[in-house]
Chain A
Amino acid sequence: MPERDEVQIARWDAIRSRIGSGLRGMRGGNRSQAQLAWELDELGFHISQSMVSRYEQGQGEVPLTLERMVGWALCCDALSSEHLREILELGGYSLPWTRGDMAQFDDLLRKYRALSRPDQMVVRRWLLWHLLGLQPIPAQEVPV
């Protein structure tokens, strides 16, 4: 585990069960943990199914980053959900998008759900970069 401050650990301990509840809410009942873990992995997050399970139960040891929270919501088409808003607030994060903007992001994701899985992942990956305001890294340059 990376070295962390006691204060950081204490804060994470205080909020992680509520974060877990939000994560469960975003995933809903129609998406399995395995599917979510696969999609997160495709997006470039190194999160296994067991990590999905642990975070949802509030047992994740490492604080969830902004990128992971947004990626989680992106995979669950839950960018405009109240759950994401709550966990971002708990984590002390914010995004420069309004609720209406986030609803349009979700609409866009739903609109292109008919694409093949690989094509959907390409669109999602780039959407994630736009959401977070980062410069895209070509696939072959993504650090492992």
Chain B
Amino acid sequence: MIDATVLDDTRRQIRDRLRALPLDGDAALRTYRLRAMLQEMNVYCDDTAALQDVDAVLLTSARGTEALIAARLDDDGRLRTYARIVARLLVGEMHGPIDAKIEYPAKHATASRQEREEDAVVAFLAGALADGRLDAAPRPLFEDVPKLTLAFTPRTAARSTLGGFHLWSDFWYKRSNMYRRWRSRRDVSHAITRICGALDSRHLVAGH
């Protein structure tokens, strides 16, 4: 079986690294950074795969995790595909003993609702990642956020309220296309950043 601990660990490490990933540079440089990050997480990347129609395949089993990227892609296509692989590892469900996820160049019809929703989240999150706008996606997807708790002091109550917002945002981001589009708007993500700052002083200190 795929060791869930290994996948969780990879996910956690990617979340940690993503926040510190520089956003400058051209598509080739940014692709290089994403690739290097994946390789560091023991995700073997081969971008010489003779894939004709699909952009990439992500394969994982007890033997390890591998990303096959189509050799035919240009720099921008490769950046977006690597971003999809990273997004897939962050939010995708991989089942043992072996699982494979296919990244299609365009929206692809899938039978199950769960897969459709996962594909949509991956597409939006990858878009945010490739555009260097992680703030366009809910923070729980890529960092630890305050939790909704029973709070008794004004400060913990504010953080708990923020935790509730995050929970709500994460829930709808994974289920609603309309919410994903709305959440990706610049004015909305700026407003949310300000709200996070007002409710959580540590958020401001962290520079988000």
Contact = CB atoms under 8 A, between A and B. Distances in A.
Interface of A: 97-98, 101, 104-105, 108, 112, 115-116, 118-119, 122-123, 126-127, 129-130, 133, 136, 138-140
B3 to A, nearest CB: 14
B53 A130 contact: no
A116 B68 contact: no
A127 B68 CA distance: 12
Interface of B: 1, 44, 46, 48-54, 57, 59, 61, 63, 66, 68, 95-100, 102
Given A115-B54, A119-B54, A130 B98 contact: yes
Q: Is the interface of B mostly helix, strand, loop or mixed?
A: strand
Nearest to B53: A116
Contacts of B96: 101, 104
A5 to B, nearest CB: 32
Contacts of B68: 122, 126
A105 to B, nearest CB: 6
A75 B48 CA distance: 23
A118 B95 CA distance: 25
B102 A115 contact: yes
A123 B102 CA distance: 9
Contacts of A118: 50-52
A104 B98 contact: yes
A26 B197 CA distance: 62
Contacts of A123: 57, 59, 100, 102
B100 A112 contact: yes
A111 to B, nearest CB: 8
A133 to B, nearest CB: 6
A122 B63 contact: no
B51 A136 contact: no
Contact of B51 (A122, A129, A130, A140): A122
29 contacts: A97-B97, A98-B97, A101-B1, A108-B100, A115-B53, A115-B54, A118-B51, A118-B52, A119-B51, A119-B52, A119-B54, A122-B51, A122-B68, A123-B59, A123-B100, A126-B68, A127-B98, A129-B63, A130-B61, A130-B63, A130-B98, A133-B63, A136-B44, A136-B66, A138-B46, A138-B48, A139-B48, A139-B50, A140-B48
A97 B1 CA distance: 9
A142 to B, nearest CB: 12
Given A115-B53, A136-B46, A139-B50, A126 B66 contact: yes
Given A104-B95, A104-B96, A123-B57, 5 more contacts: A105-B97, A118-B51, A122-B51, A136-B46, A140-B48
A24 B75 CA distance: 46
A98 B59 CA distance: 19
A39 to B, nearest CB: 15
A16 to B, nearest CB: 31
Contacts of A112: 100, 102
B56 to A, nearest CB: 10
Contacts of B100: 108, 112, 123, 127
A133 B61 CA distance: 10
A97 B46 CA distance: 26
